[in-house]
Amino acid sequence: MEHITTTNITQKMPTAVTLGNFDGLHLGHRSLIRLMKQFAEEEGLKSVVFSFSPHPKLVFGKDEDFALIMSPEEKCFAIEQMGVDAYVEYPFDKEFASMSPEDFANELIFGQMNCKVLVVGENYHFGKNGAGDYALLHRLGEEKGVKVIAVPFVRYQNERVSSSRIRQCLVEKDLEDANCMLTEPYFILGKVAEGKKLGRTIGFPTVNIVAHPLKLFPPNGVYATKTLYRGKYYYGVTNIGKNPTVNGTQKIVETYLFDFNQMIYGETLQIFFYEFLRSEKKFASVEELQQQIAINAEQTKEYFASARYAHWKAEAEK
């Protein structure tokens, strides 16, 4: 997949494009990308996902607590898995945000991107003050001979699927609903860092992940997770927090993988989160912590053997 992160976006080959922020790549986002790819295949066009970096909310800073469901690296990774030809992360700043909707559409999308088919959500807004919408794109597209398609909302449990709704589910530890809207479990992609190696001293060796600082984490606590390493999945227990029992002070993502004893510092893992087990707690002793980890490991094994996991297992085997 071609990955463009500069303003040099000129395309010689005609393209099919979908526009948006795509944080989380949820059900709605994926419906846009699937339709765009379908047009690209039918009409012999290059398939392109056009997004922005950094996220506009991070530029304007209106929401101090805003965080990303997917880090930029995770989003690029997931889009590539969807079989897209090119992914554009167009540099976003306040100057760019002041561009008129007409200039954005005519100069960048229909002009430099050589777009022949454009797919957007029915409520998509763009350009200065968000003044541009589907009606404007459709009118401008007709003038340029570009097919512009609006895709309706996707609903889950009778409510519109959105990145903000998924963020709220994650904050509330509602992983089942968040994962259903994401279409695959929420995950953290990162490299293994060398930790304090305390886990191995108490019989539960762990791997520590360094994740993106702008990523949204579920609340501190312990979760049932599944980790992908070199094409193989490993069940495990993941702690997000500061390890208060051993006087930890820095937030870490720490996973105890069942039946795994390799040294993999510097390698990349993808950790999928399925179920919240308990909140972070400071135990009276290391022995008490050991007992609790053993309990959480059994809870995790029970979850992955349960009907609650059956749906995700079936999806993974497709």
**Domain of residue 71, CATH code:** 3.40.50.620
Question: Token pair for residue 214?
Answer: 């702008």
Q: Are residues 25 and 140 in the same domain?
A: yes
Residue 234, Cβ density class (10 Å: 0-12 exposed, 13-18 middle, ≥19 buried) = middle
Give me the domain span that covers residue 34. Answer: 2-160
Looking at the predicted structure, is the pLDDT value of residue 67 above 50? yes
Q: Are residues 49 and 155 in the same domain?
A: yes
Q: Are residues 144 and 193 in the same domain?
A: no
User: Model-level pTM?
Assistant: 0.91
Which amino acid is residue 131, in one-letter code?
A
The pLDDT tens digits of the residues spanning 241-252 come to 866 544 444 578
Is 125 a domain residue?
Answer: yes
Q: Are residues 86 and 192 in the same domain?
A: no
The pLDDT tens digits of the residues spanning 108-164 come to 999 999 999 999 999 999 999 899 999 999 999 999 999 999 999 999 999 999 999
Average per-residue pLDDT for the chain: 91
Which amino acid is residue 199, in one-letter code?
G
Is 6 a domain residue?
Answer: yes
272 and 187 in contact (C-beta within 8 Å)?
Answer: yes
